[in-house]
Amino acid sequence: MGELGAELVEIEDWTCCGASAAEATSYLLSLSLPACILAKAEKMDDTSQILVPCSACYLNLKKVEEISRNNIELLNKINTVLQEENLHLQGKMKVRHLLDILARDIGPAKIFANLKSPLTGLNIAPYYGCQCLRPYSVFDDPEEPRSMEPVIEAVGAKIHPWDMGGRCCGASHMTTKPDVALELVAAILKAAKGADAIVTVCPMCQMNLEAYQKKISGMSGEDLSMTILYLPQFLGLALGLSEQDLRMDLNLSITKAFRDKLNRTQISADIHR
Amino acid sequence: MNRLEKIESEQESETAPAPVIDSLAPIRDMVSACIQCGTCTGSCPNAFAMDLTPRQLWYNVIRGEKETIFHSKTFSLCSVCYYCTLRCPRGLPLTDAMSALKQIAAKENLAPYKKSVRFYKSFMESVRRHGRVREMEFMTLYFMVMKNPLLPFRFAPLGMKLMSKGKVSVELPSKGSGTLEAIFRKVEELENS
Ligand code: SF4
Ligand code: SF4
Q: Return residues 20-79 of B near A (CB < 8 Å).
A: 45-46, 48-49, 76-77, 79
- E strands, chain A, are 49-52, 94-97, 123-127, 158-159, 197-200, 227-230
Which ligand has its closest atom nearest to the C-alpha of B99? 2
Asked if B190 lies within 8 A of A80 by C-beta distance, the reply is yes
DSSP A125: E
Q: Which atom, in ligand 1's list, is nearest to the CA of B35?
A: 3
Distances (CA, A) of B49 to A23, A167, A205: 22, 16, 20
Top-level CATH class of A107-272?
Answer: alpha beta
Whether residue B80 lies within 8 A of chain A, CB to CB, comes out as yes
For A80-112, letters b (16+ CB in 10 Å) and e give ebbebbebebebebebbbbbbbbbeebbbeebb
Strand partners, A96: A51
Q: If you measure CA to CA, which chain B residue comes closest to A168?
A: B81
Mean pLDDT, chain B, as a whole number? 79
Q: Atom 6, ligand 1: which residue's CA is nearest?
A: B40
Task: Give percent above pLDDT 70 in chain A.
Answer: 96
DSSP A102: I
Ranges in chain A annotated CATH 3.40.50.11810: 107-272
Q: How far apart are CA B128 and CA B134, in angstroms?
A: 11
Phi-psi region of B38 (alpha: psi -120 to 50; beta: other; left: phi over 0): left
Asked if A28 lies within 8 A of B190 by C-beta distance, the reply is yes
The model's pLDDT over A205-263, given as tens digits with 9 standing for 90+, comes to 999 999 999 999 999 999 999 999 999 999 999 998 888 888 888 888 899 999 999 88
State the average pLDDT over residues A151-175.
94
Domains and CATH numbers, chain B: 22-108 (1.10.1060.10), 113-192 (no CATH)
Is the C-beta atom of B34 inside 6 A of ligand 1?
yes
For residue A192, pLDDT over 90 is answered with yes
**pTM summary value:** 0.84
Contacts of A17 (CB under 8 A, 6+ apart): A33, A34, A37, A56, A57, A60, A61
Which ligand has its closest atom nearest to the C-alpha of B97? 2
Is the C-beta atom of B84 inside 6 A of ligand 2?
yes
Q: How far apart are CA A36 and CA A86, in angstroms?
A: 10
Asked if B79 lies within 8 A of A250 by C-beta distance, the reply is no
Residue A7's pLDDT is 74
The model's pLDDT over B35-72, given as tens digits with 9 standing for 90+, comes to 999 999 999 999 999 999 999 999 999 999 999 999 99
State the average pLDDT over residues A189-203.
96
Residue B83's pLDDT is 96
Mean pLDDT, chain A, as a whole number? 90
Name the residue with higher pLDDT: B97 or A26: B97
Is the C-beta atom of B31 inside 6 A of ligand 2?
no
Is the C-beta atom of B19 inside 6 A of ligand 1?
no
Q: Atom 7, ligand 2: which residue's CA is nearest?
A: B78
Task: Give percent above pLDDT 90 in chain A.
Answer: 67
